[in-house]
Amino acid sequence: MNTKGKILKIALKLFMERGFREVSINELIKEVGITKRSFYYYFNSKDQLICEALEKLFFSRFDDVIRTSDEYNWISKDKLSRIFQRYSETESYLKNNLRVERCNHKSLICLIVEGIKDYKAMTNCIVDFNNRLLEKIECVIREGKMLCEISSEVDSKVIATHTLTSLQSAIVLWAMNQNIDMKMLFETNFKYLWNNIKSSESNLVILDNNIINKCIGSTCETNFYFM
């Protein structure tokens, strides 16, 4: 790993463990093992550092979430389940890939919120991901309807939006309460979703689109900006 990559990885690890405001440049360069001059060779400021760290090391996972549903020629249930599964692996990703020993969950949310507030590039990155994931989920639902795996009566766009909102809300809930079993949370949310959209001759349960629309109107705008 080159010097810049090492700085990015260690910085993001420290920011998630202790919080962005609590880690000084002096502490960071000591941890990396470089001089202050070397740091400023790669980054103009601490703000630029956090922006690049989130974009290159954390948001790179976005494409993986979208790509995962196309790995195999699965049925729609498995494709949707795989997306939920990848979201449920967020905590293990932080620990295994970024070596985050003790994630400060509130710091994680603050990092993203501050990034959205201060950096247009980061905002664009998150919005682009959400739009692409929404399109992917809607595509899977349409395919499921064509193959009679999903009820033909559900509104593909509404269900896709509801699904994305559910994913984002679960991440926020986990970030605010580290005692939550992340795997169980996403498994439960997926089972509820699938039971309400699956095609069944004997027991067809359809989500009330009016209720979903009300839910979307009150929560979607906020949750769409989280991973």
Domain range enclosing 29: 1-57
Query: Which residues 6+ apart lie within 8 Å of 36 measured at CB?
Result: 25, 26, 29
CATH number reported for the structural domain that contains residue 37 in this entry: 1.10.10.60
**Spatial contact of 112 and 227, defined as CB atoms under 8 Å apart:** yes
Stronger pLDDT, 87 or 16, i.e. the higher one: 87
Give pLDDT tens digits for 14-27. 887 777 778 889 99
43 alpha carbon, distance to own chain's centre: 26
User: In this structure, are 195 and 111 located in the same domain?
Assistant: yes
Strand partners, 150: 198
d(CA 180, CA 215): 23
Per-residue CA distances from 9 to 5, 6, 76 (Å): 6, 5, 36
Could you tell me if 122 and 196 lie in one domain? Answer: yes
Say yes or no: 115 and 6 in one domain: no
Q: 58 falls in which pLDDT band (50, 70, 90)?
A: low
The CATH number given to whatever domain includes residue 105 is 1.10.357.10
Residue 11: what pLDDT?
Answer: 87
Tell me the whole-structure pTM to 2 decimals. 0.70
Instruction: Give residue-wise pLDDT tens across range 103-151.
Output: 556 666 666 666 666 666 667 777 888 898 999 999 999 999 999 999 9
CA distance 102 to 213: 38
Residues 19 and 83 in one domain: no
Looking at the fold, whether 162 and 67 belong to one and the same domain comes out as: yes
Report, as an integer, the average pLDDT of 200-219.
44
Does residue 91 sit in the same domain as residue 142?
Answer: yes
Name the 3-class secondary structure at 225: coil
| 65 shares a domain with 52 | no
150 DSSP assignment: B
The model's pLDDT over 145-187, given as tens digits with 9 standing for 90+, comes to 999 999 999 999 999 999 999 998 888 787 777 678 888 999 9
- Let me know whether 140 and 155 are in one domain: yes
Instruction: Supply 10's token pair.
Output: 């260690």
Integer Cα distance of 116 and 5 in angstroms: 22
Q: Are residues 99 and 188 in the same domain?
A: yes
- Burial class, 130, CB count within 10 angstroms (exposed 0-12 / middle 13-18 / buried 19+): buried
In the prediction, which pLDDT does 52 show? Answer: 80
**Into how many domains does the chain fold?**
2
In this structure, the answer to whether residues 167 and 84 fall within a common structural domain is: yes
> What pLDDT score was predicted for residue 168?
86
Domain boundary among 13, 34, 57: 57
133 and 217: one domain?
A: yes
Q: Are 35 and 105 in contact (CB under 8 A)?
A: no
What is d(CA 128, CA 141) in angstroms, rounded to the nearest whole number? 20
| Whether residue 3 is found in the same domain as residue 27 | yes
